[in-house]
Structure 1
Amino acid sequence: MKKLVAVLLALTLVMAMFAGCGSKSSGSSAPAESGTSESKAPADKPLKVALIYAGFLGDKSFNDSAHEGALRAKEELGIELKEMESKEPTEWESNFVAMAADGYDLVIGVSTQFQEIMTKHCPEFPNTKFALIDGVVEGDNIVSSTFAQNEGSFLAGAAAAMFTTKTDIPGVNADKTIGWVGGMDIPVLHDFFIGYEQGAKYVDPEIKILQSFAGTFNDPLKGKELTIAQYSQGADIVMNVASGTGTGILEAAKEQGKFAVGVDLNQDDVYPGSILTSMLKRVDQATYLAIESVVKGTFEGGKTTYLDISNGGVSLTDMSTMKTALGDKFPQDILDKITELEAKVKSGEIKVNAYEGFGRK
């Protein structure tokens, strides 16, 4: 009996030791468990980002620029990306609401066309973050981006006004007339035009500037028709500010043996030798910065990022494609003058007018 009691006591001691060891192991590993894959799962889950377009990709312009910024974020920041395209305003709204309701962490409206939609629906999703590209919407869960497209267009207008005098270049006539074709008749495009007009008249106060609106950002044929009409009225170079409609503007320049100015992305090599330069509007950078702010935890609702000449938000291309195409006929004086004007705008010596109906922050 005594032997049996001794054995039982020994077993009890062994079990107690094992229990003590288990308790210590659990306690000592608690801090380590905070770094285990199980506890880090929410942090490791990729940020879900949705881009909603008022049009389609493939415009080689505004939408494609936003797409480039999103792809950069996908590659560098590891986000999960979804993009919704449509040319119908009713579908823009339904796409926007669907992505917000589907649990996306950040929903981006790519275009000023989303201002009313976001003003209406963002308050319905207080736990979702939103970004508007090319406009401002107030809200604690919204960031906005705007651009000094008037400053970039000032340089484009100056370049076009100088180019139209280069009659030694085939396709340039003796008329001092330039053109401008926009997509929809909205404030942001008027801001483009007012800068273009000011830049052209800075070079030549007597220059004639033709203006047309296609009424859409998604009709290349309409853009082409309007551009050809301006060529018939004496213009030899036309600025494209029309997103998807603008592909027709560039095509018209090529087919008519005339010239164009590209927009948003570098469009110089779409038809090499037909596009003098492009006004770069860094939609890609605005898109990337909005996504990065959420990934890094610096998202600040109610904030507006302003991109202008001083921070590289707008500029002209270096005209290297046209320089290659024209060879010795390339008008270097235009490039030199643009460099000079850009410095004056940056310094504030030249104040570029802004369209009064287009708000900035």
Structure 2
Amino acid sequence: MKKVLSLAIVFAFVMMVVFAAVPAAAQDTRVGIVLSTGGLGDLSFNDAAYRGLQRAEEELGISFQYIEPADPSEDQTALRRFASRGFDLVIGVGFQMADSLQTVAAEYPETRFAHVDQAFQDVPDNIVTLNFAEWEGSFLAGALAALTSENGNVGFVGGVDFSLIHRFEGGFYQGAKYIDPDIEFQTRYADDFGDPARGREIALGMIDDGADVIYHAAGGTGSGVFQAAEEEDIYAIGVDSNQNYVAPGYVIASMLKKVDNAVFDTVKSVVEGNYQGGENLYFTLEDGGVDLTSLTEVGQPVMDALNNGTITEAELQTIEEMKETVTSPHADRIAEIKEMIINGEIDVENWGETGRPDNL
């Protein structure tokens, strides 16, 4: 009997410690997120934002709900649903949601909001925007593409022809031209973030015109680019999340955009009571907000893909062999270029502000 009683006391003590480890405010913190067109499964920024909330749920003890609108016209209704129900933080993902979030935030001035991917001219006190220097990370992607291209011909596939996506395109273009001023550059926009068939069609056309490395910033549409790369035996570069396990051996790197970290930090600020609205936050190459995946190591996301059955041991070996023969030889050069961007020796133009050149 004493043994049973002792176990009960120990269990009660352990549970007290567990709950004490979670901030009291966090247990009641509710977060609502409205995802961008394409929703979960894009292997890109929607999935990254969701991962940030999963981490907050695990580490901070918050709860969250999400909505995947089928069309941007549904964004206001989705945002309003969370705000009207008293959620502690409401997050909108994607530049297409910018106007909708500002409208709803004005209706609910006591609700905290966060917006991913669009800075505002005058940021209200109940909004913080999370923005990234995509042009810096994409410069590294462009440099790598030029270094690995055998044809001297690379391509860029954008989701929607908009200033945000121009930031990716511009960085990629400048990086490729930095390595090879004479490189041929192809660019096309799919007008959709969730159409893999369209991404494949565009990529196949680029390949027919000589491209042997293609970078996408097109959300779910980009999976079609990977399919085309595998079919035609050329290389592709992923975006936002580590997509190196998709089409094993053909995705040579991914330009990382740490949306997950930014979302987690914002939720943490709400939990800890130091949320600061009225700001446009920027995450850069210098602070790790953007980066290129390792050119020498496969990385944890690839190992996770192996462990959950997404890829096989043979496919992992293919990725490792690709790293060794294709990207590792350029690791030092890319690291050097990264440092030159950070210390200002290379100034990467932000096409989101300056606009795309007329000759493209």
Interval containing the TM-score (normalised by the shorter chain) = 0.7 to 0.9
Please tell me the residue identity of whatever aligns with 1:197: Y
Alpha-carbon distance in 1 for matches of 2:116, 2:72: 17
Identity of aligned residues (%): 39
Aligned to 2:99: 116
Q: Alpha carbon RMSD of aligned pairs, Å?
A: 2.0
Q: Is 1:255–2:231 an aligned residue pair?
A: yes
Aligned to 1:35: none
Alpha-carbon distance in 2 for matches of 1:207, 1:44: 52
Aligned to 1:164: 149
Alpha-carbon distance in 1 for matches of 2:90, 2:33: 6
| Superposed displacement of residue 45, structure 1 | 4.5
Q: Is 1:195–2:171 an aligned residue pair?
A: yes
Q: Is 1:357–2:339 an aligned residue pair?
A: no
Q: How many residues align?
A: 311
Aligned match of 1:207 in 174, 183, 186?
A: 183
Note if contact 2:170-2:351 (Cα within 8 Å) is conserved in structure 1.
yes
Aligned to 2:306: none
CA 114–311 in structure 1, closer or farther in 2 if over 3 Å, else same: same
Aligned to 2:290: 314
Aligned to 1:151: 136
| Superposed displacement of residue 47, structure 1 | 0.5
Return 5+ residue gaps in structure 1 as ranges.
1-40, 166-174
| Superposed displacement of residue 89, structure 1 | 1.1
Return 5+ residue gaps in structure 2 as ranges.
1-22, 299-317, 356-360
Q: Is 1:141–2:121 an aligned residue pair?
A: no
Q: Secondary structure at the match of 2:353?
A: coil
| Superposed displacement of residue 352, structure 1 | 0.7
Alpha-carbon distance in 1 for matches of 2:285, 2:26: 37
| Superposed displacement of residue 87, structure 1 | 3.0
Q: Secondary structure at the match of 2:78?
A: helix
| Superposed displacement of residue 46, structure 1 | 1.8
Q: TM-score, normalised by structure 1?
A: 0.82
1:292-334: per-residue Cα shift (whole Å, max 9, x none)? 1111111111122211010001110113347613376335332
Note if contact 1:144-1:305 (Cα within 8 Å) is conserved in structure 2.
yes
Please tell me the residue identity of whatever aligns with 2:107: E
Please tell me the residue identity of whatever aligns with 2:124: G
Max Rg structure: 1
Alignment of 1:26-41 (within 5 A): none
Alpha-carbon distance in 1 for matches of 2:143, 2:326: 16
Please tell me the residue identity of whatever aligns with 1:150: W
Note if contact 1:187-1:358 (Cα within 8 Å) is conserved in structure 2.
no
Q: Secondary structure at the match of 1:337?
A: helix
Alpha-carbon distance in 2 for matches of 1:95, 1:328: 46
Please tell me the residue identity of whatever aligns with 2:30: K
| Superposed displacement of residue 120, structure 1 | 1.7
Q: Is 1:93–2:76 an aligned residue pair?
A: yes
Alignment of 1:221-300 (within 5 A): 221-300=197-276
Q: TM-score, normalised by structure 2?
A: 0.83
1:128-179: per-residue Cα shift (whole Å, max 9, x none)? 10000111231110011111000000000000011003xxxxxxxxx21100
| Superposed displacement of residue 115, structure 1 | 1.0
1:83-110: per-residue Cα shift (whole Å, max 9, x none)? 1112311112211111111211110001
Q: Secondary structure at the match of 2:192?
A: coil
| Superposed displacement of residue 78, structure 1 | 0.8
Aligned match of 2:194 in 203, 207, 218?
A: 218
Alpha-carbon distance in 2 for matches of 1:270, 1:152: 20
Please tell me the residue identity of whatever aligns with 1:213: Y
Aligned to 2:343: 347
Alpha-carbon distance in 2 for matches of 1:272, 1:287: 29
Alpha-carbon distance in 1 for matches of 2:27, 2:168: 41
Aligned to 2:328: 332
Q: Secondary structure at the match of 1:357?
A: helix
Alpha-carbon distance in 1 for matches of 2:27, 2:354: 39
Alpha-carbon distance in 1 for matches of 2:83, 2:203: 39
Note if contact 2:134-2:168 (Cα within 8 Å) is conserved in structure 1.
yes
Aligned to 1:304: 280
Alpha-carbon distance in 2 for matches of 1:358, 1:286: 26
Alpha-carbon distance in 1 for matches of 2:354, 2:64: 31
Note if contact 2:159-2:219 (Cα within 8 Å) is conserved in structure 1.
yes
Aligned match of 1:46 in 21, 24, 28?
A: 28
Alpha-carbon distance in 2 for matches of 1:301, 1:135: 15
